[in-house]
Structure 1
Amino acid sequence: MAEDARPLRIALLTYRGKPHCGGQGVYVHQLSKALVDLGHHVEVLSGQPYPVLDERVPLHRLPSLDIFNDAFPGRFPGFWEIKSWADATEVASFTTGAFSEPLAFSIRAWQLLRSRLGDFDLVHDNQSLGYGLLAIERAGLPVLGTIHHPITVDRQLELQHAQGALERLGKRRWYSFTRMQARVARRLQRIITVSESSRDDIARDQKVPKDRMHVVPVGVDPELFRPLPSVDRHPQQIITTASADVPMKGLRHLLEAVAKLRTERDVRLVVIGTPRLGGGSAKAIDSLGLGHVVEFISGVPDQRIVELYATSSAAVVPSLYEGFSLPAIEAMSAGTPLVATTGGALPEVAGTDGETCLLVPPGDSEALAGALGRVLDDPAMAARIGAAGRERVISRWSWRHTAEQTVQHYRALLADQPPSPSP
């Protein structure tokens, strides 16, 4: 078999792989499945929450100390839990106020892979960008990284929304890991990102040379995310996805828009995601009096999400910034008319001509309310937008296409490696 056609052996790393909600888990599940469909061998190394994978893809669990779990976020581990160098690193980093998972995970991945160097052709890291990747490279395994968007953007938005000097200090300490990610990204030979917008932002914020970054958009399964003509749409139901309860996702602005719409119509909002206890969304829902009209749904399979799209008259992505936005193309693929902001890559993804979605400025609740009102008041226009959005997705994005392009970059990375020394 020709060298450039042989099946590859890939170790795919993700420090978190939460299924059903959040792009990391979806990316790892769908990409690994599509790579196996192409005939390659993929094994996933993940910290918790663990991804749900195709049965053909082995999962190696590399458990963190679970400091930032949903039930008790920010818990301090007991001394008896510290059993390795990676555990000690995780605790030490946490005590400085930093988000400690990416660094500790990369060390755990290196500790596993150094004993299996002959089992893989390369390592594909999904946005952990920890120093352990450099050790993996030094051990002899080429490393390719995916950066969905630079986390420095999250840092900037969080600092803008921080209340007072003490909270700003806490945010700076939390996001101190972004310096590590930038250093590691600059040293990797080849990086995949998901949009031209993200490529520009990574070059600006993390100083990664553009010639080492390559755009490979993520995909969607149009046979799964499809219209369900037999399901009736609720005429006043809006749906959104909030993978994290952070300012960047813009949920506060959507809630303000829903409150404005409630003054003249009986709208309801379905949120795919989990609110953070005491977080900004919970406070906004309470202050706006929306407790009876906002429903959070999490931990459900994709088919249930498709049904929720089918019963909704409008989908919305209110983010202040997105590197790509899986929820946008999933809603469009399902034929649900989309309202989105112009934050980050959203115009690049959803279209700018007004035919495939309605765009509004990020952070503008009045504009969000106006666009949603137009969709809810004009079913004929909404149907046209929904149909055109699905056609845009079908013509541009699939996970098979994502996998095929990714393999091209695997082979280019391997071709750039120096030849092995003669025995």
Structure 2
Amino acid sequence: MTDDLSPRSPHTGDDDPGESGAPNTQEKDGDHAIARTGRTRHTRKVTLRDVAEAAGVAPSTVSGTFSRPGRVSSATAQRILTIANDLGYRIDNVAPFRTEESLSALIGIVVADLSNPVFADYTRSAQHECLTQGLGLLVIDSEENMLIERDAIRLAHRHVDGLILASSRLSDTGIRKLAETKPLIALNRSIRGIRSAVADASDGLRQAVDYLALCGHRTITYLSGPESSWQEGMRWRALSAICSSTGLRLRRIPSASPTFGGAYRCGDPFLSSPTTAVIAYNDMLAIGFIAALHASGISVPAQVSVVGIDDIQFSSLVTPALTTIWLPRRQVAAKAVEELSARLHHLHEGNLRPVILPSRFIRRASTGSAPQTIVHQ
């Protein structure tokens, strides 16, 4: 299936073809010389920073003059508009900077599952940062379904100025197509050619494995997440490399879904070949798995140590309190809004390197020393 998210739009061409057959001349447009040869004009594009420097103000003030004029004094706004006109600055020189009449001041965030506390945190943090930036936020819950995500984005596309995709289930190709039509930031997914902000679990996983090894554990079971999740692939790859370098054995059990209910289905395959330690794709999976172990008469952490990933609020409230890997969810969501706002207002361009924020291991009551023998039901 092809993720065709590009809206059908009419062809747009050169609105200023010039005068056919005109002789070579030099025109003056503000402070920039323009060479005209036949139908072709050559000039260095005037940027928002050029206007800001000439006006002696910050780029954000120039941006606000065009996008949110109510926040800039009338005298300052008039001076900036005059200088922009003299320099030949045009908003449509740099798509997708839109005029005040067409700017919605609304961005969209697409989350995989709004019932998951992780995505609720992403949404809340993004909304707070949007309010700081003077933007509204449209929330789309894809329900872990690529078709729902694709169709919802298509419907919302013309209403938003940009998009944040949080753990998107779309293909890389589909996301690149979407990025051709709308400014976009990928959250917790690195895609070549797409700006992204990523909470990296690698540091926390390294600390967790080192701690489990110190406690005498020699084999770890990993309860995996959705196959379509980029983070799932990265966590498995990191965990495999870490266990290999520390000499620990690693096995993998797939989960039907990264939820409390999905964890119960992992119980039987785990008990058929148990290990003394388990690391789950996320906290909800870990909490559900502990409940499944308790239902089977297995004690945590006396017989099995369990580690989650995310450090959601519930992880410190369950019994036993869940050992986990803290991820900077709120920070990464706020950073994504900040980056998208900067792109919309052209405060920086051309930097596609991902923003990487590190994780850390938090030890609580669900982990401890390895038992002398592996428990069997």
Task: Report the TM-score, using the length of structure 2 for normalisation.
Answer: 0.31
Structure number with higher helix proportion: 1
* Greater Rg over alpha carbons, structure: 2
Q: Report 1 or 2 for greater relative contact order, CA contacts < 8 Å, sequence distance ≥ 6.
A: 2
